[in-house]
Amino acid sequence: MAQLKFRDKTYEVGDGATVLDVLLEHGQEVPNSCRAGVCQSCLMQVVEGEVPEQAQKGLKDSYRAKGLFLACSCQPQADLAVSLPDAAQLRVSAEVTGIRPLSEDVMELVLQTDAPFEYQAGQFVTLWRDERLGRSYSIASLPDDDNGLMFHIRKVARGEFSSWVHEDMKPGDRLSVQGPAGDCFYIPGQPDQDILLIGTGTGLAPLLGIVHDALRHGHRGRLQLIHGAQHPSGLYGHETLTALARDHDNLIYHPCVLNAEDEMDAGIRQDTVEGLVKALVPKPAGWKAYLCGDPDLVNKLRKQLFLAGCNMKDINADAFIPSTPADRIG
C-alpha cells in the first residue's frame, strides 16, 4: 500500500483513494471544490515521488514543470510526499472595481488585477476569497478590455462564495485570481466554419467572450447562440445580444425559456435547449460547438451533438460542476 507524506505526517493510501480523500479523511485542510479534476482549486505540489499522468491532466506546462497536480485526481501508485503550493506563485491579487446586478440572481463582478493577467476569452479562473475558499468562474470579458476581468456570478442558496459576492462584496474589496484554465475559447483559422454556442444561466458568460472574440477576428460562418433559462427574467443578456445580433448578420441569437410568460418578448421561444438545438441544427457535422453551464445539460448535449454527426474534437465544453457538499467529503 502506498504511503502519503504531508506536513510531517504519513498516511496509508487505501485502494482507489485519492490524495484529497486521504488528507480530508485525516482532518487536513486542503482547498477543493468540484472533486472531478475540473476546477483546479485542489492544486498540490510533489515533494518526493511521482504522480500518475491523470493527476496533471489539463494543467498548463508551467504547472506540470513545477510538479503541481490535482489532489482530487491523484491516486498514488507508490510512496509520495506532497505539500500545498506557494499561493503567491500561482495567484495574482485583484481589486473589485465594479459590482452590479444583471438580474435578480446574477451579479456582474469586475476585477482589476495588480499585475498583467493573460487569458483567452471564454476561459475560467479560480477566484480566492482567502486561503480556504476558492471557486471557479468563467471570464465574460476580452483580454484587451481595459475595464478589467468580468464575471457573471449566480447566487446559489447557502453558497459560500456566491453569497459573499451577492450580499457583502463592494468596490475596493480584494481577492486573488488563479489560472486561467479551460479550452472553451475561439480558435482563429477557420473563419467560415459554423459555430453553435449553447449555455444556460451564467453559462452565457464564457459564450459572450467567445462571440465577441470571433466577431473581432472577422468570423464569417454562422454564430448560432442559444441561451436558455427557466423564466424570461433569467435571460439577462437579452437586450445586449439582441442589439449585437442586429449589428452582425452572422450572429443569430436564440433565447428560450421553459416557463413562458404573457408579457415576454416575441423573440423568446418556449422550448428546451435540447429541442431547440435539434430543430435549428439537425445535422451538426462540420460545426464547432461550445457548451457551457449546467453539467447534466452539457453532458446530454455533448452526446446529442455527437450522435447527430458533430465531431467530438469540435465540441468544447465547460461544465459548471458545483462543490461537493461537506457531508460527502472524506
| Interface contacts to ligand FAD, rule CB under 6 A | 34, 38-39, 124, 135-138, 151-154, 156, 158-162, 182, 202, 205, 318, 320-323, 325
Give whole-number Cα distances, 311 to 19, 210, 307, in Å.
Answer: 35, 20, 9
Taking CB under 6 A as the criterion, which residues in 135-154 touch ligand FES?
Answer: none
In the chain, the amino acid numbered 107 is M
Pick what 284 binds: ligand FAD, ligand FES, none; C-beta below 5 to 8 Å, kind-dependent: none
Pick what 310 binds: ligand FES, ligand FAD, none; C-beta below 5 to 8 Å, kind-dependent: none
Pick what 234 binds: ligand FES, ligand FAD, none; C-beta below 5 to 8 Å, kind-dependent: none
Pick what 56 binds: ligand FAD, ligand FES, none; C-beta below 5 to 8 Å, kind-dependent: none
Give whole-number Cα distances, 330 to 27, 139, 153, 154, in Å.
Answer: 9, 31, 28, 28
CB under 8 Å, gap of 24 or more: what pairs does 285-288 form?
285/309, 285/310, 285/311, 286/193, 286/194, 286/311, 286/314, 287/193, 287/194, 287/195, 287/196, 287/314, 288/190, 288/193, 288/194, 288/195, 288/196, 288/314, 288/315, 288/316
Q: Are the C-beta atoms of 85 and 68 separated by less than 8 Å?
A: yes
Shortest Cβ 199–ligand FAD spacing (Å): 9
Instruction: Choose the stretch contacting ligand FES; rule: CB under 6 A; options: 38-46, 115-123, 190-198, 219-227.
Output: 38-46
Chain residue at closest Cβ approach to ligand FAD: 159
Q: Are the C-beta atoms of 196 and 226 separated by less than 8 Å?
A: yes
One-letter-per-residue 3-state SS of 211-264? HHHHHHCCCCCCEEEEEEECCHHHCCCHHHHHHHHHHCCCEEEEEEECCCCCCC
- Residue closer to ligand FES by CB (options 33, 123) is 33
Q: Under the criterion CB under 6 A, does residue 200 sit at the interface with ligand FES?
A: no
Estimate the share of the chain in helix, then strand, then coil, as percent rounded to the nearest 5.
Answer: 25, 30, 45
Size of the site for ligand FES (CB under 6 A): 12
Q: Are the C-beta atoms of 221 and 192 separated by less than 8 Å?
A: yes
Shortest Cβ 55–ligand FAD spacing (Å): 18
Pick what 81 binds: ligand FES, ligand FAD, none; C-beta below 5 to 8 Å, kind-dependent: none
Rounded Cα–Cα distance for residues 278 and 281 (Å): 6
Rounded Cα–Cα distance for residues 185 and 101 (Å): 26
Instruction: Choose the stretch contacting ligand FES; rule: CB under 6 A; options: 30-38, 44-52, 95-103, 127-135.
Output: 30-38
Taking CB under 6 A as the criterion, which residues in 65-94 touch ligand FES?
Answer: 70, 72
Q: Under the criterion CB under 6 A, does residue 30 sit at the interface with ligand FES?
A: no
Chosen residue from 17, 21, 24, 35 binding ligand FES by CB under 6 A: 35
- Residue closer to ligand FES by CB (options 32, 56) is 32
Q: Under the criterion CB under 6 A, does residue 32 sit at the interface with ligand FES?
A: yes
Q: Under the criterion CB under 6 A, does residue 42 sit at the interface with ligand FES?
A: yes
Q: Under the criterion CB under 6 A, does residue 45 sit at the interface with ligand FES?
A: no
Shortest Cβ 141–ligand FES spacing (Å): 23
Pick what 37 binds: ligand FAD, ligand FES, none; C-beta below 5 to 8 Å, kind-dependent: ligand FES
Rounded Cα–Cα distance for residues 9 and 28 (Å): 10
Instruction: Choose the stretch contacting ligand FES; rule: CB under 6 A; options: 34-42, 178-186, 213-221, 307-315.
Output: 34-42
What cell was used for 171?
468596490
Tell me which residues touch ligand FES (CB under 6 A): 32-35, 37-42, 70, 72
